[in-house]
């Protein structure tokens, strides 16, 4: 079963070129350390995939929220967590709130088998 996720802005716009052709071996996930960057997420501009990183509002504490990663779209490119020598911040999340996890671990934890390509959305 495919979980329908209600995506809010801000979200990744993507570079218009990268697409997911095959299920990646690793996926990005955001951790509880994600603060949402006060509504201006630093991470989303690095993600090459449209709507892969998106805003989830904190219903109890508006206007706060956080960023989530769509596991159906992530290509595991790690651009949202790029680090330089000795872990120096280069690109992506400056707060260490994104982790890369093995896709098979994510699938086992959620009891979901992800597809190579994103699920097609049907109209109507
Ligand atoms: S993942 Fe990092 S950069 Fe992105 S919104 Fe959360 S804290 Fe900010
Ligand atoms: S690993 Fe790549 S595709 Fe996945 S969320 Fe990070 S930047 Fe986007």
Domain boundaries, the chain: 8-110
Mutate to test the pocket of ligand 1, among 66, 70, 79 (most ligand atoms within 8 A of CB): 66
pLDDT at res. 2 = 53
Which of 7, 1, 124 has the alpha carbon at shortest distance from 65?
A: 7
Residues 6 or more apart from 96 whose CB is under 8 A from it? 33
Alpha-carbon 23 to chain mean position:
14
> How far from 124 is each of 33, 46, 118, 121, CA to CA, in Å?
38, 33, 18, 10
Q: For the whole model, what pTM was predicted?
A: 0.91
Mutate to test the pocket of ligand 2, among 18, 43, 53 (most ligand atoms within 8 A of CB): 53
In the reported structure, the alpha carbon of residue 81 is separated from the centroid of ligand 2 by a whole-number distance in angstroms of: 8
Using 70 as the pLDDT threshold, list the residues of the chain that sit under it.
1-4, 84, 121-124
Q: Find the DSSP H helices in 3-112.
A: 103-110
pLDDT at res. 81 = 92
> Which residues sit opposite 68 in a β-bridge?
54
pLDDT at res. 83 = 73
């Amino acid at each position: 079963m495919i979980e329908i996720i209600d995506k809010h802005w801000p979200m990744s716009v993507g570079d218009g070129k990268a697409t997911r052709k095959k299920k990646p071996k690793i996926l990005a996930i955001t951790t509880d350390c994600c603060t949402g960057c006060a509504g201006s997420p630093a991470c989303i501009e690095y993600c090459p995939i449209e709507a892969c990183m998106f805003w989830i509002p904190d219903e109890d504490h508006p206007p706060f929220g956080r960023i989530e990663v769509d596991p159906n779209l992530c290509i595991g490119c790690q651009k949202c967590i790029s680090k330089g020598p000795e872990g120096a911040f280069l690109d992506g999340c400056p707060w260490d709130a994104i982790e890369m996890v093995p896709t098979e671990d994510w699938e086992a934890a959620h009891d979901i088998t992800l597809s190579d390509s994103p699920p097609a959305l049907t109209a109507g």
